[in-house]
Amino acid sequence: MTRQQMIDLVNKYFAAVDGEDIDTIRQTLTPDCVFTVETHGVELRNYQQIEGMFERLWASHAAVKHQNFVYVPDPDEDRIATRFQVVNTHPDGQLVYKSNCNFFEVKDGRFCRVAVYMAGPNTLDKK
Q: Which of 69, 37, 68, 71 is nearest to 54 (CA)?
A: 37
**Residue 119 pLDDT class (50, 70, 90 cuts):** confident
Q: Global pTM?
A: 0.93
At 46 the pLDDT is 87
Task: With respect to residue 104, please indicate whether it lies within any of the assigned structural domains.
Answer: yes
Task: With respect to residue 18, please indicate whether it lies within any of the assigned structural domains.
Answer: yes
Q: Does residue 126 register a pLDDT over 80? A: no
| Residue 63 to residue 58: CA distance in whole angstroms | 7
- C-beta separation of 114 from 108 below 8 A: no
Size of the chain in residues: 127
Q: Does residue 11 register a pLDDT over 90? A: yes
* CATH number reported for the structural domain that contains residue 96 in this entry: 3.10.450.50
What is the span of the domain harbouring residue 45? 3-118
At 58 the pLDDT is 94
Q: SS3 for 17?
A: helix
Task: With respect to residue 52, please indicate whether it lies within any of the assigned structural domains.
Answer: yes
How many folded domains does the chain comprise? Answer: 1
pLDDT tens digits for range 74-110: 999 999 999 999 999 999 999 999 999 999 999 999 9
At 127 the pLDDT is 57
Task: With respect to residue 102, please indicate whether it lies within any of the assigned structural domains.
Answer: yes
